[in-house]
Amino acid sequence: MVVFVVERAQPSLRGELSRWLFEVKAGVFVGKVSALVREELWQLVTKKLQQEGSAVMIFSTNTEQGFTARTIGDPSRLLVDIEGVLLVKIA
């Protein structure tokens, strides 16, 4: 499973993400795609995201928490890795 949360993104980026994922709320996309598609979508997000925008990608993996995350831009919340455990820090 993969979750994308995009903030201040262009409508065209949201449209492209909605081709592969289900938009459950404005800017929040959820779905189950292969690792290859997930990486291609992340490349698309990093390429098309405006300078003032931000994105978080959360996806299933074999860790203690069962997932990991990547961020780009200036999100309203920061993900902090403490000894392999992701925690959220409000900026």
Query: What's residue 45's pLDDT?
Result: 95
| CATH code of the domain covering residue 72 | 3.30.70.240
Euclidean distance between the first and the last CA atom of the chain, given in angstroms as a whole number? 27
Report d(CA 26, CA 77) in Å as an integer. Answer: 17
pLDDT number for residue 52: 80
Q: Which domain holds residue 15?
A: 2-90
Whole-model pTM: value is 0.88
Q: What is the pLDDT along the chain (91 residues), one digit of tens a residue?
A: 999 999 999 999 999 999 999 999 999 999 999 999 999 999 999 999 877 889 999 999 998 899 999 999 887 788 898 988 999 988 7
Look at residue 89 and give its three-state secondary structure: strand
Q: How remote is the C-alpha of 4 from its chain's centroid?
A: 3
Query: What burial class does residue 21 get, using C-beta atoms within 10 Å of its C-beta: 0-12 exposed, 13-18 middle, 19+ buried?
Result: buried
Number of domains present in the structure of the chain:
1
